[in-house]
């Protein structure tokens, strides 16, 4: 059994942790430790609104790497904000996005840690009764980077797309932040958020991530 004791997460709002008293949002990284052995400590450094580019520019990877020890895991999930047109966030999928991912990979390896790439959770966008693909070429760019670099990949995009498709247009709202006005005091006007998960969605994707880590012999 792998003796990993610590997992550090770098990512965006879909992985981030939130105060339950202030927000209905729950990122998958917030619940990951619920599905791992007690000996494994999870440090969730994901931050809303960040891309591979802005996370690096703000020194967040530099801060996270001080927490890495040999044998630890560095989980990396970005794409939601990399396709944002803001210059401080935007990257090209086959260009600086891939180059930035390699920086995360090299940083983990430099400290004797194991990098793991995770494709983004799909957005819940339905058109004419079918779930529409999202995130453009970023998931495939990450897959190719993982293969080229010999890095473990957890394909959360493919899994989330499968789950949301099978649940259907209405039932899949239960995974994301969809609320009617007055349903929750934290969002009195309701919400129609097809990018961010509530507890049910975060739990589903955190469990899948933990299962994939176990299957790969990483925890």
Residue 140's contacts (CB-CB under 8 Å, 6 or more residues apart) are 93
**CA distance from start to end of the chain:** 7
pLDDT for res 69: 96
Query: For 74, phi and psi rounded to 5 degrees?
Result: -115, 110
- Domain borders along the chain are 6-215
| Average pLDDT value for residue range 112-126 | 98
Question: How far, in Å, CA of 185 to CA of 51, rounded?
Answer: 30
Whether residue 81 contacts residue 49, with contact meaning beta carbons closer than 8 Å, is answered with yes
pLDDT for res 2: 59
pLDDT at residue 170 greater than cutoff 50 = yes
DSSP H or E stretch at residue 6: strand 6-11
The secondary structure of residue 133, as a DSSP letter, is P
Total-model pTM: 0.95
| Average pLDDT value for residue range 51-69 | 98
| Average pLDDT value for residue range 124-149 | 97
Q: Count CB atoms within 10 A of the CB of residue 122.
A: 24
Question: How far, in Å, CA of 120 to CA of 142, rounded?
Answer: 10
Q: How confident is the model at residue 190 (pLDDT cuts 50, 70, 90)?
A: confident
| Average pLDDT value for residue range 163-191 | 92
Q: How confident is the model at residue 1 (pLDDT cuts 50, 70, 90)?
A: very low
Radius of gyration over every alpha carbon of the chain, rounded to an integer in angstroms: 17
Q: What is the pLDDT of residues 65-89, one digit of tens each?
A: 999 999 999 999 999 999 999 999 9
CATH T-level fold of 6-215:
Rossmann fold (3.40.50)
| Average pLDDT value for residue range 128-151 | 97
Kindly list the catalytic residues: 13, 192, 196
Question: How far, in Å, CA of 22 to CA of 18, rounded?
Answer: 8
Question: How far, in Å, CA of 163 to CA of 197, rounded?
Answer: 13
């Amino acid at each position: 059994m792998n003796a990993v004791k610590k997992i550090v997460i770098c990512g965006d709002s879909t992985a981030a942790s939130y105060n339950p008293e202030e927000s209905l949002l729950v990122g998958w990284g917030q619940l990951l430790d619920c599905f791992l052995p007690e000996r494994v400590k999870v440090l969730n450094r994901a931050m809303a609104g960040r891309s591979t580019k802005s996370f690096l520019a703000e020194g967040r990877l530099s801060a996270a790497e001080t927490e890495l020890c040999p044998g630890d895991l560095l989980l990396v999930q970005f794409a939601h904000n990399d396709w944002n047109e803001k210059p401080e966030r935007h990257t090209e999928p086959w260009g600086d996005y891939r180059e930035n991912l390699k920086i995360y990979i090299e940083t983990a390896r430099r400290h004797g840690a194991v990098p793991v790439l995770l494709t983004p959770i799909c957005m819940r966008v339905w058109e004419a009764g079918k779930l529409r693909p999202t995130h453009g070429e970023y998931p495939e760019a990450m897959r190719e980077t993982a293969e080229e670099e010999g890095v473990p990949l957890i394909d959360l995009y493919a899994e989330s797309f499968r789950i949301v498709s099978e649940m259907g247009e209405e039932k899949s709202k239960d995974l994301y932040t969809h609320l009617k006005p007055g349903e929750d005091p934290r969002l009195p006007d309701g919400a129609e958020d097809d990018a961010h998960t509530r507890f049910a969605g975060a739990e589903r994707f955190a469990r899948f991530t933990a299962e994939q880590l176990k299957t790969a012999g990483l925890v």
